[in-house]
Amino acid sequence: MLGEFEYVLITVAAGLGESAYGAAIREEIEKVAGRRCSIGALYTTIERLEKKGLLKTWMGEATAQRGGRAKRMVRVTAKGMHAAKEFYEAMVRVSRNASWASGKPERA
């Protein structure tokens, strides 16, 4: 099963689609998830997920904005989508009886 940050990364990369690359994913995670994402955490997780076959990466175009450096483009594989879906469904199942998910009053 995926780790929490792995799930966040795959979900954000899938959401960005064709424009998913290092800096864009990092910015999106910080904006949407409201958490700091270091370059170290981002790239080591991307490498780990690529080794597991959940992501595919390749070097994209270089832009002037990036000082002429290429982007590391990211695409979620079918296996990655399946793993993310499994994680999401497990979280929904786990949260079923929690007050914040079911709307039931909180028990002490």
Partner 1 sequence: MRSLTEMATIFLAPNDREAVLGDLAETGASGWSALRSVLGLVLRQQMELWCAWQPWIASSVAFAGSLLLLSVSFGLSVDSRHLLRGERGYGSVLCEALLMLSWAWTSGYVVGSLSAKTRWVSGILCAIPCLSCVLRFHDTSLSRLCVLLFLLPAVVGAIQGVCRARLFHGTALTLAIAMTALMLVLGGMYMRNWFFFLPAWWLVAHAERSELSNEKGPA
- What 3 state SS string does the chain have? CCCHHHHHHHHHHHHHHHHCEHHHHHHHHHHHHCCCCCHHHHHHHHHHHHHCCCEEEEEEEEEHHHCCEEEEEEEECHHHHHHHHHHHHHHHHHHCCCHHHHCCCCCC
Q: Does 85 bind partner 1 (CB under 8 A)?
A: no
Residue 7 Cβ vs partner 1, minimum distance, rounded to whole Å: 19
Contact residue for partner 1 among 1, 31, 38, 107 (CB under 8 A) = 38
Q: Does 49 bind partner 1 (CB under 8 A)?
A: no
Over the window 52 to 71, marking each residue x when it contacts partner 1 by CB under 8 A and - when it does not, the resulting string is: -------x--xx-xxx-xxx
Residue 54 Cβ vs partner 1, minimum distance, rounded to whole Å: 16
Query: How many CB atoms neighbour CB 73 within 10 A?
Result: 18
Q: Does 40 bind partner 1 (CB under 8 A)?
A: yes
Residue 85 Cβ vs partner 1, minimum distance, rounded to whole Å: 24
Residue 56 Cβ vs partner 1, minimum distance, rounded to whole Å: 14
